[in-house]
Structure 1
Amino acid sequence: MEEIYFDALDHTAQRLAERRNFHPENHSGDFITFLRDAYGIREAQAPEDLGNGMIWRLNNNAKTLFLSGDARVETGCSG
């Protein structure tokens, strides 16, 4: 499978992690907590397959970040 890399997105994520003091071993959990606290977005398991290679999908209307079964989250944190 070909990996897709977005340099600007990677740098922005790194700056957010540094500013918010995300723990290196828990970036995913810290980011989910940030989304919940800053924007009221909750995390949920996707009810169906999200598509080839997709590990998450944001539904703005439902304020929900859906994670696929393939998504790796370092913590059991849920919004």
Structure 2
Amino acid sequence: MRQRCTDTLDCGAFYAQCVRTGEHELGPSFQTITTIHQRDSEALAEPRSRPPMPMTTSTQPLPTRSPCPRSTGRS
């Protein structure tokens, strides 16, 4: 598919068009597409890679919640 999609779109213009047309208004954290390749009716987007989430080493147990009380049907 990448070989067929030879035209490249400007991602900034893509996100600006989404706002203008009222489709989406995404903040910077959600603008993860770095490159868009297209042709006719096909498009291929390349997302920004994210750094891996750090592992936690906590030995503390997670907090627990008591179960929801059952409804008695009385008001």
TM-score range, shorter chain: under 0.3
What TM-score, normalized by structure 2, do the two folds share?
0.28
What TM-score, normalized by structure 1, do the two folds share?
0.27
Q: Which entry has the higher C-alpha Rg, 1 or 2?
A: 2
